[in-house]
Chain A
Amino acid sequence: MPGVMERNNAHVRGPSKRAMMFAHGFGCDQNMWRFVAPAFEKDFKTVVFDHVGAGGSDLAAYDGAKYASLSGYANDVVEIGTELGLKDAVFVGHSVSSMIGVLAARKAPGMFGKLVLIGPSARYIDDEGYVGGFSAKQVEELLQFLESNHMGWSTQMAPIIMGNPDRPELGQELTNSFCRTDPEIAKAFARVTFTSDNRKDLAGVTIPTLVLQCSEDIIASQEVGEFVNRNILNSQMIVLKATGHCPNLSAPEEVIAAMRTFV
């Protein structure tokens, strides 16, 4: 059986003792961090990894029951942290990994000293007195779309990435692994992502937390980000000018600058 580091395709860079761990969200893999993580390599030991089922992770380690809840993913984060002996590290989670980080911080007190949550949502589905941004019906439609359209997904998953003259730094090694996801696993990950409710878990977070909120994020709206910020004891929020759901790609400088004010 491969070790934790192989299972999660984890990579560590930088000599510094204090670590900064980056966790990608639904849809892509650790490549999400390639414009952000290098900026911290001088001051931190950076750790990037793929959730099991994504990117270069060990697909054989995918266990439908374990990963039917975010807790299963959080356990992996804790295992990687334990393997690396992380203490007082910074956890940077994008999208669904924000809540995975919240769970991991609760599971392993002392492992993480700070949380950076990019585009977090504690619950995507609207509830009484809570705006998640999606109705239960819409999420069900999404899941049905994924159920009934995974062939579309699988073709989407396999873009022909030949050379990339515009961005040679991306290199050829990405050709086959860029945001690659097994369609069945993508469906399961979508289900756990969009049906989870972690609102009660927020109260258990006591470490300093930074919420980075995008403008015009249709997946995690400002209300959703504010809810997270309000319900974590020691949290602050920065609203980025960046639009969309992936500022780590669309506006890395802004993300890096905001993070520097915090870490």
Chain B
Amino acid sequence: MSSTSGPDFHDMIENAPCGYITLHANGRIEHVNLTFLTWSGHAADQMVGKRFSDFLTIPGRIYYETHIAPLLRMQGFFNEFAIDMLNAGGEPLQMIANASERRDPDGKPLLVRLALIKATDRRRYEQELLAARELSIAAEKATQEVLRLEQETSDLREQFIAVLGHDLRNPLASISAGARILDRTVQSEKEHQVIAMMQTTVMRMASMIDNVLDFARGRLGGGITLECEAGKPLEPALTQVVDELRLAWPGRVIEADFAIDQPVNCDRVRIGQLLSNLLGNALTHGAFDEPVVVHAETRDGSFELWVANVGEPIPPAAIKKLFEPFFRGKTRVNTQGLGLGLYIASQIARAHGGTLTAISTPAETRFTFSMPLG
């Protein structure tokens, strides 16, 4: 373009890289530029004099009449609105538009100018975003539903475990009570031995039930829950466990040595269960003619409880698996447990923020529970 002839306005309008349409104040088309005619496939004389809304899809028409036209009137302009026009084949032409009014000095509208840009890709992108949003809403709903079902199942399981525990322990209590009554009347040493064996079995059974129920809870439900009481002394709970096992294992020596001089914030029943499991394990696997040693103390800001026995050392390969559920070392068939005792003990240790470790040498096998006091 030469500086003397000025800008080529005709070219600027007709071949602008956007559609350009002007409407009379009554909504009829006054002018359509070449770009829009090319995009739409309409001829100029097909559009001029017609209502602008005739070239909109039905949704586009309603949107134009109910939103764009009112806003144009109130503001004088409306920027960045989406509008679906129709091409000569009646197919939607997705556009983004700006519109502004030209007014006379009294504010009466003279015409409306519309600049239109094709927005097919942008609309597709928006629809993909929408679809993604809807998918994510659907996924969220599905997750919520699964969670809800899971919660129901979990509640049911808790009930089941509670009922099962109760129903399994009651008959054991009856057997134990019956054995105690018989123990008072039987005469022979042999009969007393049988009754003692029954009590041992009852204890082992009770401990297995506890472990199984804890395992079920830990694996399937809420995990091991603690009822910590820092104020109450721990030692009597430990002593009781030792006494019970002494009673159940007559002829075995259990040496207990407690030095707990600081309060231990723990669940005493759980720590008792941990000790019972460790002690039961030591009595089962340790040498029968050697004592099992139990030691507990508070020292250097931590509580430590260990159980040691003499006996064949645990092979290094087995040490790693000791605390896995259902792990069973080589042992006599009639004393075999479920292989849950050490697993549950380690879970109790973990629930207390502590550790349970095992060291096994030809001289001694020792399980140590340690938890911080603070």
> B-contacting residues of A (Cβ < 8 Å)?
25-28, 31-32, 34, 95, 134, 138, 141-142, 145-146, 148-153, 155-156, 159-161, 164, 166-167, 170, 174, 178-179, 190, 194, 216-219, 243-246, 249-250
Contact = CB atoms under 8 A, between A and B. Distances in A.
Interface stretch (B12-20, B70-78, B213-221): B70-78
B78 A159 contact: yes
Best-surrounded residue of B61, B70, B73 (most CB of chain A within 10 A): B70
Interface of B: 26-27, 51, 53, 57-59, 61-63, 65-71, 73-76, 78-82, 84, 101, 103, 107, 109, 123, 126-127, 129-130
B247 to A, nearest CB: 68
A216 B66 contact: no
Contacts of A243: 26-27
Q: Is the interface of B mostly helix, strand, loop or mixed?
A: helix
A246 B65 CA distance: 7
B75 A164 contact: yes
Contacts of B103: 166
A150 B74 contact: no
B62 A179 contact: no
A166 B130 contact: no
B107 A134 contact: no
Given A151-B127, A219-B62, 16 more contacts: A27-B65, A27-B70, A31-B74, A138-B58, A146-B59, A151-B129, A174-B74, A178-B74, A179-B67, A218-B51, A218-B61, A219-B61, A219-B66, A245-B66, A246-B65, A249-B74
Question: Which residue, of A26, A34, A142, has the highest number of chain B Cβ atoms within 10 A?
Answer: A142
7 contacts: A28-B66, A28-B70, A167-B107, A216-B26, A244-B69, A246-B70, A246-B73
A145 B81 contact: no
B127 A148 contact: yes
Given A27-B70, A156-B82, A167-B107, A219 B65 contact: yes
Contacts of A218: 51, 53, 61, 65
